[in-house]
Amino acid sequence: MKKSLIALAFGTLALGMTEFVMMGILADVANSLHISIPQAGHLVSAYALGVTCGAPLLAVAKQFRPKSILLFLMAFVFVGALLSATAPNYFVLLLARFISGLPHGAYFGVASIVAVRLADEGHKTGAVSIMIAGMTVANLLGVPFETALSAHISWRMPFVIVLFYSLLVIYYIWKWVPRLDATPGNGYKGQFRFLKTRAPWLILGATMLGNGGVFCFYSYVTPILTREGGIPHEYMSVMMIAAGFGMVVGNLVSGKLSDKYTPGRVAAVMLLLAFLSLVSIFFFARCGVVAAVLMVISVLCMFAMSSPQQYLILKHAPGGEMLGGASIQMAFNIGNALGAFLGGLPIAAGLSDRYAALVGAPMALAAAVLMVVFYRKYER
């Protein structure tokens, strides 16, 4: 495996630890800052909105070398972690989460281009899945470790870990990622020209709705599994490991399947499976073991969509590949923000936590329909 791809995966590991840790420490943050669970859920949305605002900056940064952009973005990760670790109150932490999200989409956009340019022919989706693998490893190992630190020391400790780790990532990107030329320029407006066609919108729509559907449930996975399923709170770090395992398997398997079959077909099947898992979570939430298994299946599907969709948007964004790679992350995180918000509505209204999954199910089904339309029109 090329060291450059490993360095890119180290970066997505840092981003994954920053983004997904909030699901594991949501209750700890709420208790410490004296806010409700739905209010704490807004910290998930703040990160997602930061991603949405930060990704379009690539339209301006395209003139620089990819390696320089990656180093600049990882410096942003460091700043966001520093502010999060030292935030004195809820509103400062909300701002810190927004700042932490700014480099996320841009990093994925640039790293996707680098991964595809460095990959051998016939293994490009696989190369993208390796780059994304850092995000799944974050959920397998990083987030459970951070959740345990939060439970036994302080919810601030996870951000201290990210703070120092981001410095290590900066070093490895500087050392291992080659100095590739900047992508060919075709003007500011030319980078957005790919949005005039239907294919990117089908991909982006499916991404937003699919991710949002799963995040309706996953944003509140801790209260659902503990209050509904009866799983002790101290076991949540184990649950996060199980979820991370599902993400790793989903990402790597979908990368292999997409190179063998077609990315659109793989994404459509995974979206349908996500829909079924969310419906099942609503009905079986009170059975802790079953709910935990369904959680693993749902997040497996979420990351099994990731590599195919990340590759597809590059393929269908001629002249705006870097912006396209970032826009898919915008779609992911707009979905995350919507999911965290919509999933919290029934809880805020006094319904049981499991209703968050029921809100997400129709979103996942609509995403599957969009992906089937894409497959039939552009791939079959």
186 found inside a domain: no
What would the DSSP string read from start to end of 251-265? HHHHHHHHHHS-HHH
The lowest-confidence range among 46-55, 74-83, 210-219, 272-281 is 46-55
184 found inside a domain: no
Residues 208-220 have pLDDT tens digits of: 999 999 989 888 8
pTM above 0.85? no
- pLDDT at site 294: 93
Q: Cβ neighbours of residue 346 under 8 Å, at least 6 residues apart?
A: 355, 356, 358, 359
The two tokens of residue 239 are 């649950």
339 found inside a domain: yes
Instruction: Assess whether pLDDT exceeds 80 at residue 38.
Output: no
Residues 306-363 have pLDDT tens digits of: 888 888 888 887 777 777 777 887 888 788 778 888 988 898 888 888 899 999 999 9
Instruction: Assess whether pLDDT exceeds 70 at residue 193.
Output: yes
Residue 123 DSSP SS3? coil
Rg (CA), the chain: 19
Q: Report the mean per-residue pLDDT for the chain.
A: 85
Residue 281, domain extent: 3-175+191-379
Burial bucket for residue 16 (CB in 10 Å: 0-12, 13-18, 19+): buried
Instruction: Assess whether pLDDT exceeds 60 at residue 59.
Output: no
183 found inside a domain: no
Q: Are 220 and 276 in contact (CB under 8 A)?
A: no
In this prediction, residue 123 has a pLDDT band, given cuts at 50, 70 and 90, of: low
In this prediction, residue 300 has a pLDDT band, given cuts at 50, 70 and 90, of: very high
DSSP state of 185: P
What CATH number is given to the structural domain containing 196? 1.20.1250.20
Q: Cβ neighbours of residue 351 under 8 Å, at least 6 residues apart?
A: none
| Angle, in degrees to the nearest 10, between helices 355-374 and 321-348 | 150
In this structure, how many other beta carbons lie within 10 angstroms of the beta carbon of residue 32? 16
Around 151, how many Cα atoms within 13 Å sit in the side-chain half-sphere?
A: 17
The identity of residue 303, as a single letter, is F
DSSP state of 323: H
What would the DSSP string read from start to end of 300-355? HHHHHHHHHHHHHHHHT-TT-HHHHHHHHHHHHHHHHHHHHHHHHHHHHTT--TTH
119 found inside a domain: yes
182 found inside a domain: no
Name the domain count of the chain. 1
Residue 197 DSSP SS3? coil
39 found inside a domain: yes
248 found inside a domain: yes
